[in-house]
A = this chain, B = another copy of it.
Amino acid sequence: MYAMSTSKRSYHHGQLRQTLVDLALEALETTDPEAVTLRGLAEQAGVSSMAPYRHFQDKAALMQAVAVAGFTELRNRLRVVDDADNPRRALVAFAGVYVRFAYGRPRLYRVMFGGPPPTPDESLTEDETTVYGLFTLRLGQIVEPPRREEVLLTCWSLLHGLSSLLISGRIRSAGAAPEQLGERLARTALAGLVGPER
């Protein structure tokens, strides 16, 4: 039982780890990753600048946790539009959601893909729980084993590339919203790679 509702801060914060991650996520809405500082986050949490070290080995570990949170969020968004009965439609929707996520949270996306890939972790390696597990799953329903790997790689590269280029301002989604561009390219790519829609 924590006295979280009182404005008076107790000596023990009680939720510091999660608070720090949340604050970092929030900061990344307006601040570039390099400019997000451990000290700043600690201050915002109302805690000394050393307190975070109780919960994270170092700054990199915190950012890693932020990246994981980003993947979790993305995964959740993908799940909303998932549809096991219509894998093709699901994949196109995935593309839209993916690009929208990246475009909407560019700095978070950069954190997610900037560092080294997350070490295999129980919350991330289970196929269906990972972002790419969802792609694999739905793609697996509509493309045969020999080409499966190749198509998956192509789709992933396409989406990541499109997202990155949009984020860095190298391409603009003329007129249309980014997610529509994502969906359009995905539809075309699927038509080409998997065959025409039935």
**Which residues of chain A have a CB within 8 Å of any CB of chain B?**
113-114, 116-117, 150, 153-154, 156-162, 164-165, 168-171, 181, 184-185, 188-189, 191-193
Contacts and interface: CB of A to CB of B under 8 A. Distances in A.
A188 B150 contact: yes
A171 B113 CA distance: 12
A185 B147 CA distance: 11
3 shortest A-B CB distances, which residue pairs?
A192-B192, A161-B161, A157-B161
A153 B162 contact: yes
15 contacts: A113-B168, A113-B170, A116-B169, A117-B168, A117-B169, A150-B184, A150-B188, A153-B162, A156-B165, A156-B171, A157-B161, A158-B158, A160-B165, A161-B162, A189-B189
Contact of A168 (B116, B157, B161, B171): B116
A193 B157 CA distance: 16
Contacts of A168: 113-114, 116-117
A169 B170 CA distance: 23
A172 to B, nearest CB: 11
Q: Select the residue from A157, A165, A185, A191 with max chain B CB neighbours within 10 A.
A: A157
Nearest to A171: B153
Contacts of A150: 184-185, 188
Contact of A154 (B156, B169, B185): B185
Nearest to A154: B185
Contact of A117 (B156, B170, B185, B189): B170
A189 B193 CA distance: 7
A150 B116 CA distance: 31
Contacts of A159: 157, 161
A30 to B, nearest CB: 17
A64 to B, nearest CB: 14
Contacts of A169: 116-117
